[in-house]
Amino acid sequence: MIQEVPNTVIQDEYYAAVDLGSNSFHMVIVRVLSGSVQIVSKNKRKVRLAAGLDDNLKLSEESIQRGLDCLKTFREQLDDIPRSNIKVVATATLRIASNASDFVTRAEQLLNQKINVISGEEEARQIYLGVAYTSANQGNTMVVDIGGASTEVIIGRDMQPLHLKSVDMGCVTFMERYFVNGVINQENFERALAAAEEMLAPLASTFKCFDWQQCLGASGTPQAVVSILVKKGINDAIRLDYLYQLRDQAITCKHIDNLHIEGLADSRRLIFPSGLAILIALFKQLNLNNMQISGGALREGIIYGMLDNYQRADRRTQGINQLVSRFHIDTGQSERVRKVAIALSRQMCEQSNFCDFDTEALISSAAALHELGLHIGYKKFHEHGAYILTHVELTGFTTLQRMFIRDLVGMHRQEIDLAVFDNYQADFKEMLINALRIVRISVILCTRRRDDKIPKPTLTVSGHEWILHFGEGVLSSYPLVHAELVHETWLQHKSGWSLVCE
């Protein structure tokens, strides 16, 4: 079985994190049970605190009251949680507001809880930790979070932020400044973009010096962009050409009231153009090729920061183990197929350019979860597994990676649906094809469901032409496996791939 995560946290307790952001106030409540963290409640309210700042950086009484009204609704749930298990933080707007103490004092009295107004650097650190806890990363990772009044950019490795910066620009403040009265036109967008690029320019060279393997966007505007892409049937990372298409679409609408893009939530519509301008500036100034979506951000960083030593747990292992246990997967078969898939994956990656640093992790995870759908029933259990993975949390993986694992599980047996690959860009498509071939072959090799009855071939890869070398007489000793491989050879041939078993 996959190595268990040590139980290093207090069992069966509730924790809450409250984030008083410049655009929205968020509250997340989790239950900690037997070493696993389960989200039981999320509450989000659009307060738009930053919109209440005047030219002298003074918060209006109206905006203060909006915030207090929101906290009254949060208070009811917080009363049921031990005060020591609650942490409330405030970010950019309350950092810069000249009368921030007016709000903080009244809010603390209302909640009966200390409010920590954190610095931009501390906010960036907590955001990075939230991303690292929920989207396990390998190698150097850049994390970007566009907030209501500030934008955080961080480079880190595993759980350690290495270099971080908070910039005083956000989707609410830019909306108020550059898209006055909701007008969207080429001039307004260019002014917002130029301002964002100017603010990013001084820090760009330092960040570009780091050699990072992936870039993750934390919620907000990046999540809105991905929601739009998914609605279009595009399973891909965020890319600059997609952002330019959305910019042109927004400008065509001319006014925020006419901005109706399929997949864009109404709650996000007002600040989408300003957030989009900032995101484009980040891509241009930092030379980003693509950006994936993380599984968490500031709230998750606060929560996990309260849980002693939880950071030492392998988040991906924990996520896989939770699903194996929850859906009663045969742990022996899960581990059996996972090991075979890893061995074949390493052979494939040595001989091709189809792999990146996460390929093995994605293949092994799909292999471990391939029987997930048996919880529903045997007939079409591969499709059941894909359905489950569409709707459950999978700790430690980005949104795109979860889609990738879902599609591997959904196609690990029977006919291969080539249309699924059309939803991916060319580089991801090639990796998915080869990952799928590995998982399908691994499942067949473990047909006997016994550790001592697994033939172990050597794999030769030349593009889409694959040869499995078993050695003389080996396959005749495994007639059932041999028959399944013959059928698999035909199915892969129908898909345009060559598989030879000898």
Q: What is the mean pLDDT of residues 44-63?
A: 92
- Mean pLDDT, the chain, rounded, equals 89
**What is the DSSP code (8-state) at residue 392?**
S
Residues 480, 448 contacting (CB under 8 angstroms): yes
Q: Which two tokens stand for residue 117?
A: 């107004």
pLDDT above 50 for 318: yes
pLDDT at 2: 45
pLDDT at site 1: 42
- DSSP-derived pairing of the beta strands 115-117 and 140-146: unpaired
Among the ranges given (5-9, 126-130, 259-263), the one the predictor scored with the smallest mean pLDDT? 5-9
pLDDT at 35: 61
pLDDT given at position 428: 82
- What pLDDT is attached to residue 200? 96
Q: What is the pLDDT of residue 3?
A: 46
**Per-residue pLDDT at 312:** 46
* Per-residue model confidence as pLDDT tens digits over 273-300: 999 999 999 999 999 999 988 877 888 8
The residue with tokens 């002298």 is: 56
| Residue type at 301 in one-letter notation | G
**In sequence order, what DSSP letters do the residues of 178-218 get, joined into one string?**
HSGGGB--HHHHHHHHHHHHHHHHHHHHHHHHS--SEEEE-
CB-based contact 7:35 (threshold 8 Å): yes
Whole-angstrom Cα distance, residue 461 to residue 20? 53
If one compares 33 and 146, the residue with the highest pLDDT of the two is 146
Question: What does the alpha-carbon distance between residue 169 and residue 491 come to, in Å, rounded to a whole number?
Answer: 53
* Residues whose CB falls within 8 Å of the CB of residue 210, separated by 6 or more in sequence, listed in order: 140, 142, 155, 162, 163
Query: How many percent of the chain have pLDDT more than 70?
Result: 95
331-361 exposure pattern, b = at least 16 Cβ within 10 A, e = fewer: eebbbbbbbbbbbbbbbbbeebebbeebbbb
pLDDT exceeds cutoff 60 at 163 = yes
Give me the helix-helix angle, 426-445 and 331-350, nearest 10°: 130
Calpha distance 74→79 (Å, rounded): 9
Burial of 296 (0-12, 13-18, 19+ CB in 10 A): buried
* Average pLDDT rounded to a whole number, residues 397-406: 87
Burial of 70 (0-12, 13-18, 19+ CB in 10 A): buried
At residue 4, the pLDDT reads 45
- What DSSP string runs through 208-251? HHS--SEEEE-SHHHHHHHHHHHHTT----B-HHHHHHHHHHHH
Predicted pLDDT at 29: 92
Q: Which amino acid is at 287?
A: N
Strand order in the sheet with 465-469: 458-462, 465-469, 498-501
How many other C-beta atoms lie within 10 A of the C-beta of residue 41?
Answer: 12
Q: What is the largest CA-CA distance in the chain?
A: 84
Q: Which of 160-164, 167-171, 196-200 has the lowest mean pLDDT?
A: 160-164
Q: What is the pLDDT of residues 431-464, one digit of tens each?
A: 899 999 999 999 999 999 999 999 999 999 998 8
pLDDT in tens, 343-356: 999 999 999 877 87
Cα torsion at 208, 150, 15, 399 (round to 10°)? Answer: -50
Secondary element (H or E) of residue 439: helix 426-445
Give the tens place of pLDDT for each residue, 59-109: 999 999 999 999 999 999 999 899 889 999 999 999 999 999 999 999 999
Residue 137 has pLDDT above 80, yes or no: no
